[in-house]
Structure 1
């Protein structure tokens, strides 16, 4: 990051067929303190499209040319927009990092698009490590042109929060009810592959993999709801396992959770707490990973509370605790969420049903159905049931000693004033 107050400006050159991916990239660049330019976000109704595109290209510090199989076969994109950015790039000093080809899916031959693009090293944004490489290019270009890169927005407190801050995992906010504190973490918008690939060991057929775009960020509790918070809100102690109020509340039904959230919302003004959607839950659980678990290809009882007598995919047997453990006592995933694998199943808002196969934007599940979704596995289930993609459904009135939940406040983001 430089000391300049002017953020690095980046023009996103793309085809209309790739707008979902590019919109996600736009938001990710914004989170990195970049000033990206995207036609559907920055063009004002009534402006001359061609003139404004040319103006934006010339005003930008860096051009990111997004290439997919569909876009490289689109004559207008190749002959008009890419040709123009290549002409502008030719005016830049030799050796400057100004034009970056970005493959957004595998199989695109950059040299086949244009000879000038083929001479430049490209970045593969369909791979997570690709974005890290792009960040290096952005940092280098920021130094070249005296712009800033990586400036984080100021931390502000949502109106419903009693406190807020930033730590190694990112931005958080907290509420306090009856001397019990619950922390939430902000999850920015993004896209991911929901479900499991067909070659994932021990998968189930109802885990059909499909792309999901979450267009809005959201807050989510960093742990399952504790027995102490449930008691502070309702006065009740429904859990089977006693002795530590930091353990997750269990033995609660989906219907009872709705009553809890209603009372919590009455007590905390503006909170608008709800259960996460199934897509939001898996997005948070995966935390940017694509493996069966957020910890990698396998797990151990030191990471996850499950029945270690039944390890996943040929793993070694391990400890079986035969009970829940205190929330936050096992390692967090890369985004700072604890025990999303194992400990207690977690209720989601959605009804249980078959997945669609097409890309989805902000899915909320089937409109009808008798069961509600549970995710994450539990202390009494096997390793395979703790996978990111594993899903189950039960009647909303059912309660048992391994059903719990975590909840999400309303959509007011971290940039809102206190």
Structure 2
């Protein structure tokens, strides 16, 4: 289940309001700012697509839910806990998604006694009366203005995600945080807000490699939660029951000797199921954006790197990893994105071009996968923010670890239903 681009989710009953909802869907799609941002299952789902997964993914990403209510909407079906309309609306209410009741065909808002308890909050919202016979265009105009007001409001400062056991808005760093917990082992996540940065290496950098240029503008339109450290051996063992690491002298050391296939097919798959929100490896763009933390220097700490800032440059015979928080974090609260262990990314290295891009995906056509950040036994040049490397996805090494992302749209809509 992955989040979507949806801004507006339309909840309706096919048996009573399908035609009117279809008219509303097309009318909203005609608005330039909402084009391709409106979800109506009949119009946007493909034949053979998993209904539950798609619905849950759309609800995870949307900002507003329109609850289309006809005369027979508050029927006995609504009291069935498995009723899809009920599930859609209660999920939105739990996540703090704005819900607008839209009344059609002369319907009225149901009374409290007609609704299950988990829908009572719907009665606190002023409804829109959308008369398809007389005042449809006027009603849609009112709705469009209401949507603009809702969507232009700044994201609320912070609401604890439903998957978090602890959360806080700010500390000494610039990013909100939330903690997950797996069998008693905690991992702090940092909210990385959307933004634009220069990806890759400037040609004037003497340490630049051919596959790091041309430097180009990248815009990430969606935020994501990123683990503030590489995954520890303690967290891996809590999830899998095993510890494959070569350096296994402490639970706070980064887990290594894990291939890309191990991470994706074992750890992240189980974590997604446990949290109810998509856990994944970051794309190269997500990784570099977070590593830079608003900087454009070679490292997040400046143009040079010291051993006090990162674990790098040790001998191949006697080198060691260190605790994931042994070195200072960057300004966004992310520890050791330079050095210690290389970190797997979602795909293989894409070819850079000079043109600006939005949300660039990693390449997935090869059997190799990208790694970022350098390691304890690499030189400082390999630990630069722009440095990139590839290896076979089934290869494991004492140099290779990872950190993961959770991918909701904003910190207030960041949990499972």
TM range, normalised to the smaller chain? Answer: 0.5 to 0.7
2:181 aligned with 1:184, yes or no? no
Q: Secondary structure at the match of 2:254?
A: coil
Q: Deviating runs (4+, > 6 A) in structure 1? A: none
- Counterpart of 1:362 in structure 2 is 359
2:201 aligned with 1:204, yes or no? no
CA deviation after TM superposition for structure 1 residue 352, in Å: 2.3
CA deviation after TM superposition for structure 1 residue 152, in Å: 8.7
- Counterpart of 1:352 in structure 2 is 349
CA deviation after TM superposition for structure 1 residue 266, in Å: 1.9
Cα distance between partner residues in 1 of 2:315 and 2:296:
25
Do the aligned partners of 1:353 and 1:369 also contact (CA within 8 Å) in 2? no
Q: Secondary structure at the match of 1:394?
A: strand
Q: Secondary structure at the match of 1:392?
A: strand
Do the aligned partners of 1:301 and 1:308 also contact (CA within 8 Å) in 2? no
Alignment of 1:106-125 (within 5 A): none
Q: Which of the numbers 317, 321, 324 marks the counterpart of 2:321? A: 324
Do the aligned partners of 1:157 and 1:173 also contact (CA within 8 Å) in 2? yes
Alignment of 1:37-186 (within 5 A): 45=31, 153-166=156-169, 167-169=171-173, 170-186=175-191
Cα distance between partner residues in 2 of 1:297 and 1:343:
19
Q: Which of the numbers 264, 272, 294 marks the counterpart of 2:271? A: 264
Give the alignment's TM-score, normalised by structure 2.
0.60
Give the alignment's TM-score, normalised by structure 1.
0.60
List gaps (5 residues or longer) in structure 2. Answer: 1-29, 34-153
Cα distance between partner residues in 2 of 1:288 and 1:234:
35
- Counterpart of 2:402 in structure 1 is 405
Distance of aligned partners of 1:180 and 1:46 in 2 relative to their CA distance in 1, 3 Å threshold = closer
CA deviation after TM superposition for structure 1 residue 412, in Å: 4.1
Q: Summarize deviations over 1:359-411 as a string: whole Å, max 9, x none.
A: 11101122412210000000011110000000000010000001000000122
Q: Secondary structure at the match of 2:285?
A: helix
Cα distance between partner residues in 1 of 2:158 and 2:32:
36
Q: Secondary structure at the match of 1:385?
A: helix
Distance of aligned partners of 1:220 and 1:347 in 2 relative to their CA distance in 1, 3 Å threshold = same
- Counterpart of 1:252 in structure 2 is 258
CA deviation after TM superposition for structure 1 residue 321, in Å: 7.3
- Counterpart of 1:193 in structure 2 is 198
Q: Secondary structure at the match of 1:260?
A: helix
The number of equivalent residue pairs is: 265
Do the aligned partners of 1:253 and 1:396 also contact (CA within 8 Å) in 2? yes
Alignment of 1:268-279 (within 5 A): 268=275, 270-279=276-285
Do the aligned partners of 2:284 and 2:349 also contact (CA within 8 Å) in 1? no
Cα distance between partner residues in 2 of 1:235 and 1:282:
31
